[in-house]
Amino acid sequence: MSHAADLPDPEYLPRRTVAERVARGASLRDEVPLEHHATWEVPSGRPDPIAVLERQGEHRDPALLPIRYGRMASSAFAFYRGGAAIMANDLSGTPVSGLRAQLCGDAHLLNFGLFDTPERSLVFGLNDFDETLPGPTEWDVKRLAASIEIAGRDLTFTAAERTAAVTACARAYREALHAFAAMRNIEVWYARMSAEELRDRLAATGDRATAKEAKKRVRQALQRDHLRAFDKLIEHDDGKLRFVERPPLLTPAEDLLDEHGREIYVETLRTQLREYRGSLPPDRRSLIESYRFVDLARKVVGVGSVGTRAWVVLLMGRDVGDPLILQLKEAQRSVLAPYAGDVEHGSQGRRVVEGQRLMQATSDHLLGWTHQAGFDGQARDFYVRQLWDGKASIDVTHLTPAGLRVYAESCGWTLARGHARSGDRIAMAAYAGEDGGYDDAMAAFASAYADTNEQDHALLVEAIASGRLEALDGV
Pairing of strands 133-136, 323-330: unpaired
pLDDT at residue number 212 = 83
Considering 329, 355, 386, which residue would you say is the last residue of a domain? 386
pLDDT at residue number 153 = 98
- Count up the domains in the chain and report the number: 2
Q: Are 110 and 81 in contact (CB under 8 A)?
A: yes
Cα R_g (the chain), whole angstroms:
22
Residues 236 and 208 in one domain: no
Q: Are 316 and 342 in contact (CB under 8 A)?
A: no
Whether 2 maps to a domain, the answer reads: no
Residues 404 and 378 in one domain: no
Residues 130 and 250 in one domain: no
Residues 74 and 40 in one domain: yes
Looking at residue 428, its amino acid is M
Considering 371, 386, 401, which residue would you say is the last residue of a domain? 386
Q: Are 109 and 411 in contact (CB under 8 A)?
A: yes
For 329, the enclosing helix (H) or strand (E) is strand 323-330
pLDDT at residue number 11 = 47
Whether 434 maps to a domain, the answer reads: yes
Per-residue pLDDT tens over the stretch 361-393:
888 899 999 987 676 778 899 999 998 766 778
Terminal Cα-to-Cα distance of the chain (whole angstroms): 44
Q: What is the CA angle 99-100-105, rounded to 5?
A: 135
Dist. CA 402–CA 398, nearest whole Å:
11
Dist. CA 34–CA 20, nearest whole Å:
20
pLDDT at residue number 400 = 93
* Full residue range of the structural domain in which residue 72 is found: 19-223+392-466
pLDDT at residue number 44 = 96
Residues 380 and 243 in one domain: yes
Beta bridge partners of 103: 133
Residues 363 and 338 in one domain: yes
* Residue 325, SS3 per DSSP: strand
Dist. CA 298–CA 234, nearest whole Å:
13
Whether 91 maps to a domain, the answer reads: yes
| Segments of the chain scoring below 50 in pLDDT | 1-6, 11-12
CB-based burial, 240-264: b 16+ in 10 Å, e otherwise: eebbeeeeeebbbbeebbeeebeee
pLDDT at residue number 18 = 96
Considering 324, 356, 386, which residue would you say is the last residue of a domain? 386
pLDDT at residue number 225 = 64
Residues 253 and 361 in one domain: yes
Whether 279 maps to a domain, the answer reads: yes
